[in-house]
Amino acid sequence: MDRFNALLKKELASELRTRSGIYSTLLFAVLTTTAVGFTSIERAPSPLVASALLWLVLGFASVTGLARAFIVEEDQRTSDLLRLLSPPGPVFWAKLSYNFLLVLAVAAVVVPLHLIFESVHPENWPLLIVGTISGCGALASGVTFCGSLVAKSSARGAIAGVICLPVLLPIIISGMGAISGSFESSNSDVVIGAWKSVAALAGLSLVFAGIGRQLFPFVWES
């Protein structure tokens, strides 16, 4: 636990010092949300389309900024020092926690902007909040999983983006179901399906985190 806390503090301190991850991710997410919003000025999209646009923005924004979590040490040539200081377990969980906090911060900005630009009004706020948090956890787990697999590759930046796409697809689809249900609380079947999508997002978070934790030592120590 002490190593985990120290590594998480290192990740946060590094981000606060450079702000490259949060700036690049927020810039992409805000610009994309604004551009999409201008296409819906005359006519508000349906709940399913609005939720799809939101998760596409969050999904691609996570690839833009979060896949660098494991890559940055390799680029800065500090990975060998990190291997000497800590076993792979705390490193993986610290990276995952950092990614979750980062994508959650991005979602805290993008979701309100999306609701304003798309002129959609949630009828079930608990479902919207829980679905967003669960989706952020699934995105962080998925991107951390992909980043850990390509950390030692020579073309890791490009490969990380390619690997992330099939991993993020089920997350985006489940996120669409969760958020679209928050716009249609009058339909009980839709709400029940939305909560099932939230459960699917939580399950995907556990699956990607568990598999990534098991595979990461083989990549990290190779």
H-assigned helices in the chain: 2-18, 20-38, 47-66, 68-76, 79-85, 88-118, 125-149, 156-182, 188-220
Burial class (CB in 10 A: 0-12, 13-18, 19+), 159: middle
Q: What is the pLDDT of residue 115?
A: 84
**What does pTM read for this prediction?**
0.86
Q: How many domains does the chain have?
A: 1
Name the token pair of 198: 């939230």
**Share above pLDDT 90 across residues of the chain, in percent, rounded to a whole number:** 12
- pLDDT tens digits along 42-84: 677 777 888 888 888 888 888 776 556 666 666 666 666 667 7
Q: Which of 20-29, 34-43, 70-79, 121-130 has the lowest mean pLDDT?
A: 70-79
Decide if pLDDT at 197 tops 80: yes
> End-to-end distance of the chain based on CA atoms, in angstroms?
24
Average pLDDT of the residues in 113-121: 81
Q: What is the pLDDT of residue 138?
A: 92
Print the domain residue range for 75: 2-220
